[in-house]
Amino acid sequence: MLIDKYLRDYHFNKLHKIEIHAQPQDIYSAIETTDFYQSKVIKLLFTVRRLPSNFFSPEGFGKVGIMVLEEKAGEESLLGAIFNPLGFKPVNVLPDEFREFDEKGYVKVVVNFHVSRIDERRSLLSTESRVLCTSGKARLVFTPYWLLLNRFIGLVRIVMLRLIKQEVEQVSRDGESRNV
């Protein structure tokens, strides 16, 4: 998986999975088209966190220092960021520089969406976050943030997975009923 290529070792992680009755390519397409702001939970948490309203777009990611690291079309998409945990100021690097970055005092974060086939009718969609602190001081500073917010981060991911499932399975049901 791409996530292993960019951040095999880490200090913190969060993994969520959901089974969806659809083909991997349909799920992967829905990752990019689902409107996550239809969720009141996501809207509230992102407003409190002061994330831009277009957060789930390349422009929105860029505003907070998140970059697309790599994509394996139809299977996995990987996002990443490097920031100073004091003030969360992002570091601008190119995707191919991300893996080699090891300057002390920073936090490296990767987040993926991965789709795999279970059988002819079902697929598994997962999202994982991994965090690596490049020094003991960075880890000391980042740990309280993680302990405080990882439940909210997990909640956002669960809601996102459910929205994608709802969207894909609704489209699948609508398509089946039209084909009857």
* Per-residue model confidence as pLDDT tens digits over 55-90: 665 566 777 788 999 999 999 999 999 999 998 889
Residue 10's CB is within 10 A of a number of other CB atoms, namely: 16
**pLDDT, tens digit (0-9, with 9 covering 90-100), for 124-157:** 999 999 999 999 999 999 999 999 989 998 999 9
pTM, 2 dp:
0.88
The residue written with tokens 């893996």 in the block is 99
Q: Which of 171, 129, 158, 159 is CA-nearest to residue 29?
A: 171
What domains can be seen in the chain, in order of their start residue?
Answer: 2-178 (3.30.530)
**pLDDT, tens digit (0-9, with 9 covering 90-100), for 19-61:** 999 999 999 999 988 888 889 988 888 777 777 666 665 566 7
Provide the 8-state DSSP code for 102. -
Buried b (16+ CB within 10 A) or exposed e, 45-72: bbeeeeeeeebbeeeebeeebbbebbee
